[in-house]
Amino acid sequence: MKICVAVFFGGKSTEHEISCISANQVLHALNSEKYDVLPIYISKENEFFIGDELFDLANYADFIKDPGRTLQKVAIYKDGNAVKVRPVNGMFKKPINIDVAFPVVHGTNVEDGSLAGFLQMLDLPFTSCDVLGGSLGQDKAVMKDVFKANDIPMVDYFIVYGNDFEENYEEYLKKAKKIRFPLIAKPANLGSSIGIEVIKKADEFKEKIEECLKYDFKVVVEDMIKDLKEVNISVIGNQNKARFSPIEEVSNGFLDFDKKYNPNGGAKGSKMKGAKSAGASKGMASTVRIVPAKLEAQQKKIIEETALKVFKVLNSFGLVRIDFMIDRKSGNVYCNEINTIPGSLAFYLWKHAGLEFDQECDEMIENALNRYALKAKKTYSFDTTILENYRKK
Ligand SMILES: Nc1ncnc2c1ncn2[C@@H]1O[C@H](COP(=O)(O)OP(=O)(O)O)[C@@H](O)[C@H]1O
Ligand SMILES: [Mg+2]
């Protein structure tokens, strides 16, 4: 019998559409001789839908507006040892049993551990990070603190907390001056460059941080690399065994950002909002890539070693992409962030290493099933007589 793989995508996230594109690539990459593939679309209202129409990206613009019109709303539930999917308006229809979940979601409310938590509750094997790995990968502030605690090379930074920003304004400003302007400010929990601000000088500090605080309670403020080269690497595996892909150099609008927002010249204003399309950041067509990136041997070594370390300390699993920044002037390498479910699952990097997209998906599914089997061996409950003491005598 074939394994039923449920591909989850969409969700209440600013990266909903990008997730649909990534997921559609996965739906077509999965080997139909090995798997029954079930696409499960999570609407922007977090309702679940199924339907054969989900195999065709051309239909998606309509689904997003009104998914119920063409697709079937379903409930996903545990029934004994099985996990089942059944249309909510057709309770007499035979439910579909799913064996493994393949989340292809991006951003808040889904990639941040939320979907992992749901799947964990269902006791279903799944291909991506667990709750902790997902949430550490989403929150830039906690992520940076974990990097720092593990000596991961990174730019100087500090975190602004919205609840005491006014009260401790002078202290925060002191921290900013210590790193020196220009600085970059990022809302802790967003992606695709949304809400990111360049702070050119001290008298912009207050206004720019307040702008970021409209998006989040926490803001990461960090040293801005003016002559930036951006490189990414993917890691596949689990906490026992992981390996890295070739490295890509990307330029995607944010290098335009250099021209547009460079404090030393270029255009007016310093907002990066929307400066690059979400698609570009997530690895879609508009990104220009060079694989393998041209790097000095030492830089390559630092990136590869750091990537494996990041994968480990952030409790990662499955397939992730880790993004680095290189200061072209000094040659220094800094780790920027992890994407726990990267756009297009970074298939273009693995293909370069000889791993085709379908094989990549096979490996992720195998990994998920192995993790599940290993976990099943651990003890999560034990018999006790505690409640016997509460019986009415
Ligand atoms: N410290 C920095 N110096 C220069 N540019 C930066 C810095 N941090 C981020 N950027 C630019 O902003 C982009 C988005 O920032 P990033 O931290 O990757 O957040 P996101 O989650 O939105 O991708 C980066 O890809 C890079 O082009
Ligand atoms: Mg990024």
Ligand 1 centre from 334 Cα, in Å?
11
The secondary structure of 3-51 as a DSSP string is: EEEEEEEE-SSTTHHHHHHHHHHHHHHS-TTTEEEEEEEE-TTS-EEE-
280 pLDDT higher than 60? no
Residue 286 has what pLDDT? 65
**For the chain, what is the mean pLDDT?**
90
Residue 327 has what pLDDT? 97
- Chain segment 53-77, per-residue pLDDT in tens: 999 999 999 889 999 999 999 999 9
Residue 252 has what pLDDT? 63
- Chain segment 143-186, per-residue pLDDT in tens: 999 999 999 999 999 999 999 999 999 999 999 999 999 999 99
CATH fold for the domain made of 3-128: Rossmann fold (3.40.50)
Decide whether any atom of ligand 1 lies within 6 Å of the 155 Cβ: yes
d(CA 197, CA 372): 42
Over range 127-148, report the average pLDDT.
97
Percent of the chain past pLDDT 90, that is, above it, reads 79
Picking from 200, 195, 173, the residue whose alpha carbon sits closest to that of residue 268 is: 200
Beta partners for 10?
42
- Please name the residues in contact with 391: beta carbons below 8 A apart, sequence gap of 6 or more: none
Query: E strands of 128-268, at which residues?
Result: 157-161, 183-187, 197-199, 218-223, 228-237, 242-251
Burial of 35 (0-12, 13-18, 19+ CB in 10 A): buried
Instruction: Tell me how many degrees the CA angle 192-39-281 measures, rounded to the nearest 5.
Output: 15
Beta partners for 183?
199, 223
Picking from 168, 159, 254, 177, the residue whose alpha carbon sits closest to that of residue 216 is: 159
Give pTM, 2 decimals. 0.90
94 pLDDT higher than 80? yes
* Residue carrying structure tokens 């393998």: 292
Ligand 1 centre from 325 Cα, in Å?
8
Helices (H) and strands (E) in the chain, counts: 13, 16
Picking from 318, 314, 346, the residue whose alpha carbon sits closest to that of residue 101 is: 318
Neighbours of 350 (CB within 10 A): 20
Over range 332-360, report the average pLDDT.
97
How is the chain split into domains, by residue range?
3-128
Residue to mutate, 156, 222, 254, 272, ligand 1, most ligand atoms under 8 Å from C-beta: 254
Beta partners for 75?
86
Torsion of CA 319, 72, 114, 358, to 10 degrees: 0
Residue 45 corresponds to which tokens in the numbers above? 């209202």
Percent of the chain past pLDDT 70, that is, above it, reads 90
Which residue did the predictor score with more confidence, 32 or 387? 32
Q: What share of the chain is helix, strand, coil (3-state, %, to 5)?
A: 35, 25, 35
Residue 93 has what pLDDT? 77
Picking from 218, 230, 144, 147, the residue whose alpha carbon sits closest to that of residue 185 is: 218
Ligand 2 centre from 280 Cα, in Å?
10
* Shortest-distance atom of ligand 1 to CA 272: 12
Least confident of 37-41, 113-117, 181-185, 248-252: 248-252
Q: Strand, helix or coil at 385?
A: coil
Ligand 2 centre from 204 Cα, in Å?
24
How many alpha carbons lie under 13 Å from residue 270 in its C-beta half-sphere?
23
Residue 263 has what pLDDT? 45
Contact status, residue 296 vs residue 331, Cβ threshold 8 Å: yes
* Shortest-distance atom of ligand 1 to CA 281: 23
- Please name the residues in contact with 76: beta carbons below 8 A apart, sequence gap of 6 or more: 40, 48, 83, 84, 85, 98, 122
d(CA 75, CA 127): 21
Over range 198-221, report the average pLDDT.
95
Residue 91 has what pLDDT? 62
268 pLDDT higher than 70? no
Burial of 352 (0-12, 13-18, 19+ CB in 10 A): middle
Which residue did the predictor score with more confidence, 382 or 67? 67
Residue 145 has what pLDDT? 97
Residue 190 has what pLDDT? 77
Residue 139 has what pLDDT? 95
* Residue carrying structure tokens 């990537």: 307
Residue 257 has what pLDDT? 42
Decide whether any atom of ligand 1 lies within 6 Å of the 42 Cβ: no
Decide whether any atom of ligand 1 lies within 6 Å of the 321 Cβ: no
If pLDDT is split at 50, 70 and 90, which confidence band does 370 have?
A: very high
Least confident of 34-43, 72-81, 178-187, 270-279: 270-279
Over range 276-304, report the average pLDDT.
76
Over range 357-379, report the average pLDDT.
93
Decide whether any atom of ligand 1 lies within 6 Å of the 334 Cβ: no
Decide whether any atom of ligand 1 lies within 6 Å of the 343 Cβ: no
122 pLDDT higher than 90? yes
- Chain segment 213-265, per-residue pLDDT in tens: 998 999 999 999 999 999 999 999 998 999 999 999 998 655 344 443 444 44
Decide whether any atom of ligand 1 lies within 6 Å of the 154 Cβ: no
If pLDDT is split at 50, 70 and 90, which confidence band does 340 have?
A: very high
Decide whether any atom of ligand 1 lies within 6 Å of the 40 Cβ: no
Ligand 2 centre from 385 Cα, in Å?
51
